[in-house]
């Protein structure tokens, strides 16, 4: 019987809110940080384009099991539309496909912006990672293929015009739900205004509970390479991205059972407290079980029992 191959690196667990610079891919940032922390496992919780900067959530170890929550939570962006030209990719990298002399005024923009708030239909950009018949849309777009992407419902919680620096540039702030594309908003806003425009600057300022208050720049992290304590001070608990999931406290015996994948019976007062919290969060049956302040499992509460769905080996 062959020996099991030992995974390289250290068992690092938790989230890191990195302030990503422009001109570097999200995948490259993951690689840099995996080496920097000598981590066995790392991934990101939602891609940020190379041309964009801002909050990039990085999951280490067991936190990768909560990556979907980072991808699905609400996000805040600050971005600038440059009027006068539309590009194939709806950002400054793409080739210009249309031009116009029309420059929307503040009054014109503010008159139509409310139409883009709420649950709206949006067609993702052709230069996106959407799959069309098993192929990435951006690969088809680069090959010059003709194809259509179906519209999808997305949610915009807030959208405001922040500044008009000059007649060619307008800066906006948007808070959106999952699956929303800023480049598609720029395309549709320009179209509604009878103008041409593309995203010339894009910054993600928040991903759920991750924002400027708990983020750190990639350059600062690289400067700490020789100071492990300083580096690890920026690691956040894996439940940081689960801020909308109600928590229950369990004892060590129940924690051991959950780690074996077993259901546990909950005391009535714990169920009542969870039910009250779940109403506040708008949660369904989901709960996070913790023991001595450590996350043990994500699961569902049914008929007074906690059924583990994702177990954390911390």
What does pLDDT average to over the chain? 91
* End-to-end Cα spacing for the chain: 28
Is 121:149 a contact under the CB 8 Å cutoff?
no
Dump pLDDT digits (tens) for 155-179: 999 999 999 999 999 999 999 999 9
In this prediction, residue 251 carries a pLDDT of: 93
Dump pLDDT digits (tens) for 12-71: 999 999 999 999 999 999 999 999 999 999 999 888 888 999 999 999 999 999 999 998
β-pairing, 14-20 vs 215-217, is parallel
β-pairing, 42-44 vs 53-60, is antiparallel
> Which domains are delineated in the chain?
14-73+209-240 (3.30.2350.10), 75-207 (3.30.2350.10), 244-311 (2.30.130.10)
Dump pLDDT digits (tens) for 211-249: 999 999 999 999 999 999 999 999 999 999 998 899 999
Long-range contacts of 34-38 (CB under 8 A, 24+ apart): 34/9, 36/221, 36/222, 36/225, 36/231, 37/10, 37/12, 37/231, 37/232, 38/9, 38/10, 38/12
What is the rounded distance in angstroms from the CA atom of residue 38 to the CA atom of residue 24?
20
Is 9:40 a contact under the CB 8 Å cutoff?
yes
By annotation, the residues acting in catalysis are 49
What are residue 286's DSSP bridge partners?
300
Q: What percent of the chain has pLDDT over 70?
A: 97
Residue partners of 284: CB distance under 8 A and separation at least 6:
278, 300
Kindly report the pTM of this predicted structure.
0.89
Reported as a pLDDT band with limits 50, 70 and 90, residue 5 is low
In this prediction, residue 1 carries a pLDDT of: 43
């Amino acid at each position: 019987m062959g020996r099991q191959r030992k995974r390289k690196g250290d068992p690092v667990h938790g989230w890191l809110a990195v302030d990503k610079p422009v001109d570097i891919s999200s995948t490259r940032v993951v690689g840099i940080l995996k080496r920097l922390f000598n981590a066995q496992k790392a991934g990101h919780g939602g891609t940020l384009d190379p041309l964009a900067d801002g909050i990039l959530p990085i999951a280490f170890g067991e936190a990768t099991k909560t990556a979907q929550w980072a991808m699905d939570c609400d996000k805040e962006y600050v971005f600038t539309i440059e009027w006068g030209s539309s590009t194939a990719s709806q950002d400054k990298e793409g080739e210009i496909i249309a031009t116009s002399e029309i420059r929307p005024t503040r009054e014109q923009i503010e008159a139509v912006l409310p139409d883009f708030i709420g649950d709206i239909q949006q067609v993702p950009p052709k230069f996106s990672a959407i799959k069309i018949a098993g192929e990435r849309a951006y690969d088809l777009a680069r090959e010059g293929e003709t194809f259509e992407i179906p519209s999808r419902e997305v949610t915009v919680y807030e959208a405001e015009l922040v500044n008009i620096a000059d007649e060619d540039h307008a800066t906006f702030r948007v808070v959106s739900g999952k699956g929303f594309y800023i480049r598609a908003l720029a395309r549709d806003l320009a179209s509604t205004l009878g103008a041409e425009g593309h995203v010339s600057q894009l910054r993600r300022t928040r991903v759920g509970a991750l924002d400027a208050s708990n983020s750190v720049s990639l350059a600062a992290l690289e400067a700490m390479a020789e100071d492990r304590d300083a580096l690890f001070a920026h690691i956040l608990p894996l439940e940081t991205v689960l801020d909308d999931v109600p928590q229950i406290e369990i004892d060590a015996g129940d924690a051991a059972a959950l780690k074996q994948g077993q259901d546990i019976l909950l005391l009535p007062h714990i169920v009542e407290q969870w039910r009250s919290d779940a109403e506040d969060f708008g949660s369904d049956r989901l709960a996070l079980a913790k023991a001595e302040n450590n996350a043990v499992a994500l699961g569902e509460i049914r008929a007074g029992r906690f059924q583990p769905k994702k177990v954390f080996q911390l």
